[in-house]
Amino acid sequence: MQWETVIGLEVHVQLSTQSKIFSGSSTAFGAAPNTQADVVDLALPGTLPVANLQAFKSAIMFGLAIDAEIGKESVFERKNYFYPDLPKGYQTTQLEKPIVGLGYISIPTAVEGEIKQVRIHHAHLEEDAGKSLHEDFHGMTGIDLNRAGTPLIEIVSEPDMRSSAEAIAFLKKVHAIVTYLGISDGDMSQGSLRCDANVSIRPMGEEKLGTRTEIKNLNSFRFIERAIHVEVDRQIDLLESGGVIKQETRLYDSDKNETRSMRSKEEANDYRYFPCPDLLPVIIDDQTIEELRAIMPELPEQKLQRFQEQFSLSAYDASILTEQRSIAEFFETATTHCGDAKLSANWVMGELSGYLNKHDLTIEQSPVSAEQLGALIGRIKDNTISGKIAKQVFEAMCSNEGSADEIIEAKGLKQVSDSGAIEAMVDEVINNSPDQVAQYRAAEPDKRKKLIGFFVGQIMKASKGQANPGQVNQILAKKLNA
Amino acid sequence: MKPLHELTIAEIQLLLQQKQFSSREITGHFLDRIAQQNSIYNCYISVDNDGALNAADAADKAIATGANGPLLGVPFAHKDIFCTQGVKTTCGSKMLDNFIPPYDATVVAKMKAEGAVMLGKTNMDEFAMGSSNETSYFGSVKNPWDLETVPGGSSGGSAAAVAARLAPAATGTDTGGSIRQPAALCGITGLKPTYGRVSRYGMIAFASSLDQAGPMTRTAEDAAILLNSMSGFDAKDSTCTDIAVPDYTATLNQSIKGLKIGIPKEYFDERLDATMAATVQTALAELEKLGAILVDIELPNSALSVPAYYVIAPAEASSNLSRFDGVRYGYRCDNPKDLEDLYTRTRTEGFGEEVKRRILVGAYALSAGYYDAYYRKAQQVRRLIKQDFVSAFEKVDIIAGPTSPSPAFKFGEKGDDPVAMYLEDIYTIAVNLAGLPAMSLPAGTMNNMPVGLQLVGNYFAEQQLLNTAHQFQTVTDWHHQSPVTE
């Protein structure tokens, strides 16, 4: 039987506000345990939450970015359950009146050029829990409450995705939106963006949704892809062997590459949600929304469009360059410095990203800045060096040997554009290769193009790559055709 | 001069300024009385001798340099529900028997800043859940008027301390009557302000949407002085209202001629003891003599207030008390086997029966499938009750009636019947549901036990309430009557 995969995602995004959602503690990552937890975060008796309005602004900007309705009256509720890293015994979250209502996120599909709209059921604000540390405590558990109270938006999609590739495309889009907006650093390795996946299958053509399982806490694109794959395979095997899917929460084990049951629907907590009496409903007026709309930065889609129009890039190049805000900005800065968007795009997507991948670096960690790369490309454009020599210069720049100009100077890599010098080299090669010259001259004009390559190669070799290839071609053609 | 323990805080302040005695002297006097007599009444859980004397010395120094202030050097007590930095704060529970807060509640910080001298922390029903002070882990408080009877609750320790002259004044908190009912039963003056008037920050939560702190004093004038200090906006409490605090003492002497006082017929129906009713009527007649006009009114949904309250308050409490899990502070059971065992035994052993009962009731009311029938319905009823008052205040300025259905009852009398105990708050609870300010004033006696008159004001009309109460106290002397002879 042909099965169709159905996926809905719940994405948790940590907001990069200075302070926590209900206390004045810092949200910075990596501090010593419990140094960023004040009396409110510790849930000492008598302490009360005060909502951080910046978190609301971030959530509203996300809502505007996905064309969603903004909740005019936003209510916090308590989700009650016991866990050692949940200090109050409840999580303050939103249920009936979230800040962001129905919206849309568009993603590319497997069909080239086709775009699909994934519906966002809602997105709500909530607080993160602390962390339980099970190692280094000799059979006991340590609690670190630094993360407790970090603001999150939870983005809940409808089950609109049909493959793990679509799920990944969706997540990448969420990542792009929140980082473009500057409301999150989107750093998955630090848990700034995490997701749970609701996965079900149904016979192709069937409308009714199958029973879903929820896979918890997936924190890398690779794990999400693998987890969905193994879970879909498990469900297909189960159904095809006459079994039934149980609605349950499953955990992905990346070491064994399998999902396993955490708790069934029956074992699920009754969270006893009710409106938090310590926090009044937050009323969002139109003026606030319009003020935020006015300061919205350029979004991925808008940038994609602009890159194609302003820089005459292909849709493919533009989409690669705009996937991450930092890459798009790197490209644009480099382009400003060299004045050639096409060259700049090729370098960012080619040499630069090759180097970064090889050394497992992010673009923020690039040893060559956008300005420096732009300066290098500028030297190709003004014929100081050839593209080939530029790669050599780039390598040297990556090893911190200096700026493009310094390296070109120090290594004497300047392109030879002196036509007298090039003519001398051309003459020498022609004189030393009588057979090839004869062959060339005997060939039909359309075959000659291929044969000229031999002479170019010889001259470039003689010049150690520094002869201006344009000039070499021109002079060679003139002399051979004479 | 009267004995020091018979002075009101208005008098103490004046005499301190006149250097008739020092803050150290009067503080020492109260500390001595507490040392001698607290074992009789059990109204203090903790006494802060050193802290009090240090604060008194600091106040004396300030006074010597010409400083002045309504609470400077004035001793008083805090209910043990307010977090006090460095001083044990138990909330009447075994759960917090070892809890020393690292921070001050806003009310505590405000009074400290004015130089008030805290003598100690007063006993209370566990987590403020009770109307008799019998649920305290630290033993029940005795009513100074009759040691066989309860002082009321939950602020019974504060009420008894003021009545027994073991403090000139005290703070209390009121979720369903916990200031007014013990004030009535102990023959003192108690004020529950409008919800949002006083910051709840640092006040250990029972039911967040109902809890409100207020003064418990001998006189309305003292209540006004204390409320001046306790009130005001606090950015740390999102439910605290940003409305300017008037000087509550400035309007005490205004005439109440023409004041319209509504008498709800539901508060005087056949369920009210005839002698109680007559006592309250006599007090109302005094107000009439002062020029007030009594108007019959209706509060048709009054009967629904106790059931609505006993859904909403436990629901909020069930969540508020989840933080007492043995993980970070407070009581933890011995040798927990695992996490489940840690939670179960910590909470089984750390909480008393009434607290557990309310957590269970509240968790049930919020649980899946019952939320609409209980919690949502109770919130709807709450709106109706509020609407009753809003309509009534279109016709009258103040609403008056008994504070409690009877004077102080005997220990154990209602202990086996939670519902009978809950009905003790029948006249006070609706006020919390509506968020209104209300006072209880000593207004007579029945069988030699004090009877309280309740005055309910409109939102943020504490000035009018205190003015009315003060005028009543200029023509009556119930508030000066004392259960103690030495």
pLDDT band at B4 (very low <50, low <70, confident <90, very high): very high
A88 with A222, same domain: the answer is yes
Q: Domain B1-486: what homologous superfamily? A: Amidase signature (AS) domain (3.90.1300.10)
B378 part of contact set with chain A, CB < 8 Å = no
User: Considering only residues 248 to 307 of chain B, which have any Cβ-Cβ distance to chain A shorter than 8 Å?
Assistant: none
A431-472 pLDDT, tens digit per residue, is 888 888 888 888 887 877 778 888 888 888 888 778 888 888
Q: Which residues of A touch B242 (CB under 8 A)?
A: none
Residue of B nearest to A268 (CA): B368
A339: pLDDT strictly greater than 80: yes
Mean pLDDT of A29-47: 95
A274–B239 C-beta distance less than 8 A = no
Q: Which residues of A touch B324 (CB under 8 A)?
A: 45
> CA-to-CA distance for B408 and B159, rounded, in angstroms?
12
Do A283 and A358 sit in the same domain of this protein?
A: no
Whether A176 and A206 map to the same domain: the answer is yes
Nearest CA in chain A to B210: A277
Q: Domain range spanning residue A237?
A: 3-291
Query: Among the three residues A242, A263, A291, which one is the final residue of a domain in this structure?
Result: A291
Burial A78-115 (b: 16+ CB within 10 A, else e): bbbebbbbbbbbbbbbbbebbbbbebebbbbbeeeeee
Q: Give A-chain residues touching B323 at CB under 8 angstroms.
A: 43, 45, 87-89
The number of residues in chain B equals 486
Q: Exposed/middle/buried for A298, CB within 10 Å: 0-12, 13-18, 19+?
A: middle
| Per-residue model confidence (pLDDT) at position A440 | 85
**Burial of residue A224, with CB atoms counted within 10 A of its CB: 0-12 exposed, 13-18 middle, 19 or more buried:** buried
A14 forms beta bridges with A152
Measure the CA–CA gap between B310 and B180, rounded to whole angstroms. 18
Return the pLDDT at B405.
93
Q: How far is CA B350 from the centre of its chain?
A: 24
Contact A89 B319 (CB under 8 A): yes
- A387 & A437 share domain: no
Neighbours of A419 (CB within 10 A): 13
The angle formed by the CA atoms of residues B322, B194 and B128, to the nearest 5 degrees, is 35
Selected residues 447-476 of chain B with any CB under 8 Å from a CB in chain A:
none
Closest CA to B350 of B83, B87, B81, B96: B96
Q: Taking Cα atoms as reference points, which of A104, A101, A106, A105 lies closest to residue A122?
A: A101
Lowest mean pLDDT segment, chosen from A141-145, B207-211, B350-354: A141-145
Q: Do A21 and A40 belong to one domain?
A: yes
pLDDT at B161 over 90: yes
Whether residues A84 and B205 touch (CB distance < 8 A) is answered with no
Chain A CB contacts of B368 under 8 Å are: 270, 272
A277/B325 Cβ within 8 A: no
Q: Are A279 and B238 inside 8 Å of each other by CB?
A: yes
Distance set, CA B31 to CA B6, B56, B76, B168 (Å): 14, 12, 11, 12
Q: Are residues A131 and A35 in the same domain?
A: yes
Q: What pLDDT, on the 0 to 100 scale, is given for residue A471?
A: 82
> Which pLDDT score, from 0 to 100, does residue A56 have?
97
Of B102, B316, B325, the CB nearest to A82: B325
Residue A424 in this model has a pLDDT that exceeds 90:
no
In this predicted structure, what is the pLDDT of residue B385? 98
- The residue out of A359, A382, A411 marking a domain boundary is A411
Residue of chain B whose Cα is closest to the Cα of A82: B322
Percent of chain A with pLDDT over 90: 70
Q: How confident is residue A478, by pLDDT bands cut at 50, 70 and 90?
A: confident
- Single-letter code of the amino acid located at B15: L
Per-residue pLDDT tens digits for B31-84: 999 999 999 999 999 999 999 999 999 999 999 999 999 999 999 999 999 999
Indicate whether A146 pLDDT > 80.
yes
Choosing from B79, B110, B121, B192, the catalytic residue is B79
**Given the DSSP bridges, would you call strands A248-253 and A213-218 parallel, antiparallel or unpaired?**
parallel
Same structural domain, A371 and A451: no
Nearest to A270 among B83, B339, B368 (CB): B368
Residue A235 pLDDT = 97
Rounded to a whole number of angstroms, the distance from the CA of B410 to the nearest CA of chain A is 32
Helix (H) or strand (E) holding B75: strand B75-79
User: Directed axis angle between helix B106-113 and helix B220-230, to 10°?
Assistant: 110
| A88 CB within 8 Å of a chain B CB | yes
Q: Mutation test of the interface with chain A: which of B198, B320, B348, B383, choosing the one with the most A Cβ atoms within 10 A? A: B320
Considering only CB atoms, which chain A residues are within 8 Å of B330?
45
Q: What is the pLDDT of residues B280-297, one digit of tens each?
A: 999 999 999 999 999 999
Name which of B102, B324, B367 is nearest A39 (Cβ-Cβ).
B102
Encode pLDDT of B387-400 as tens digits. 999 999 999 999 99
pLDDT at A473: 83
Interface mutation vs chain B, best among A19, A23, A25, A44, most B CBs within 10 Å:
A44
ipTM: 0.96
Our answer to whether residue B22 is catalytic in this structure is no
Mean pLDDT of A87-103: 97
Give the C-alpha distances (Å, rounded to integers) separating A307 from A300, A317, A331: 10, 9, 10
CB pair distance less than 8 Å for B322 and A272: no
Could you give the 3-state DSSP secondary structure of residue B121? Answer: strand
Domain end marker among A365, A391, A411: A411
- The number of beta carbons lying within 10 Å of the beta carbon of residue A289 is 17
Q: Does the active-site annotation cover B178?
A: yes
Residues of chain B contacting A50 with CB distance shorter than 8 Å: 235-238
The answer to whether the beta carbons of residues B338 and A105 sit under 8 Å apart is no
The confidence score (pLDDT) of residue B73 equals 98
Q: How far apart are CA A293 and CA A295, in angstroms?
A: 6
A279 touches chain B (CB under 8 A): yes
State the average pLDDT for chain B. Answer: 96
**3-state secondary structure (DSSP) of residue A8:** strand
Q: Which is nearest to A337 in space by CA: A276, A293, A379?
A: A379
Q: DSSP readout, B34-68? A: HHHHHHHH--EEEE-HHHHHHHHHHHHHHHHTT--
Please report residues of B whose CB lies closer than 8 A to that of A48: 200-201, 236-238
- From A129's Cα to the closest Cα of chain B, the distance in A is 14
Q: Are B404 and B272 in contact (CB under 8 A)?
A: no
- Kindly state the tokens that stand for B124: 């209370």
> Strand B293-297 relative to strand B260-264: parallel, antiparallel, unpaired?
parallel
Amino acid of residue A83: Y
Eight-class DSSP state of B371: T
Q: Contacts of residue A89 in chain B, CB cutoff 8 Å?
A: 319, 321-323, 325
Decide if B366 and A43 are in contact by the 8 Å CB cutoff. no
A to B CB pairs, distance under 8 Å? 102
- How far is the C-alpha of A271 from the C-alpha of A93, rounded, in Å? 11
Residues of chain B found within 8 Å of residue A55, distances taken between Cβ atoms: none
pLDDT band for position A422 (cuts 50, 70, 90): confident
Q: Which helix (H) or strand (E) holds B262?
A: strand B260-264
In A, which residues are within 8 Å of B238 by CB distance?
A: 48-51, 278-280
Q: State how far the Cα of A131 lies from the Cα of A86, in Å rounded to an integer.
A: 9
Whether residues B322 and A51 touch (CB distance < 8 A) is answered with no
**Is B325 at the interface with chain A, CB within 8 A?**
yes
Dist. CA B146–CA B448, nearest whole Å: 9
Pair (A227, A87) in one structural domain: yes
Which residues of A, range 239-268, sit inside 8 Å of B by Cβ?
A: none
Residue B79 is a catalytic residue: yes
Type of residue numbered B334: D
**In terms of DSSP bridges, do strands A213-218 and A193-203 run parallel, antiparallel, or are they unpaired?**
antiparallel
Q: Which residues contact A347 (CB under 8 A, 6 or more apart)?
A: A334, A373, A376, A377, A394
**Using CB atoms and an 8 Å cut-off, which of residues 46-75 of chain A contact chain B?**
46-51
Bridge partners (DSSP) of residue A93 are A77
Q: Is the minimum CB–CB distance between A315 and chain B shorter than 8 Å?
A: no
Tokens of A300: 């991925």
Query: What's the rounded Cα separation, in Å, for the pair B204 and B211?
Result: 9
Cβ contact A88–B201 (<8 Å): no
Q: What is the CATH number of the domain that holds A444?
A: 1.10.10.410
Catalytic residue, chosen from B23, B46, B140, B178, is B178
The full DSSP string for B373-426 is: IIIIHHHHHHHHHHHHHHHHTTT-SEEEEESSSSS--BTTTTTT-HHHHHGGGT
Which band of pLDDT confidence, cut at 50, 70 and 90, is reported for residue B252? very high
Q: What is the pLDDT of residue B417?
A: 80
The Cα–Cα gap between A264 and B325 comes to 25
Task: Answer whether residue B342 shows pLDDT above 90.
Answer: yes
Residues of chain A neighbouring B94 (CB-CB closer than 8 A) = none
The secondary structure element, H or E, covering residue B102 is: none
What does pTM read for this prediction? Answer: 0.90
pLDDT at A63: 98
- Judgement on whether residues A135 and A167 belong to the same structural domain of the protein: yes
- A287 in the same domain as A393: no
Among partner residues A42, A46, A270, which is closest to B204 by beta-carbon distance? A46
Q: Rounded mean pLDDT of B327-344?
A: 96
Q: Which of B329, B335, B348, B322 is nearest to B98 (CA)?
A: B329
DSSP state string for A285-340 = PHHHHHHHHHTPPPPHHHHHHHHHHHH---HHHHHHHHSSHHHHHHHHHHHHHHS-
Say if residue A316 is in the same domain as residue A229: no
Does position A110 have pLDDT exceeding 90, yes or no? no
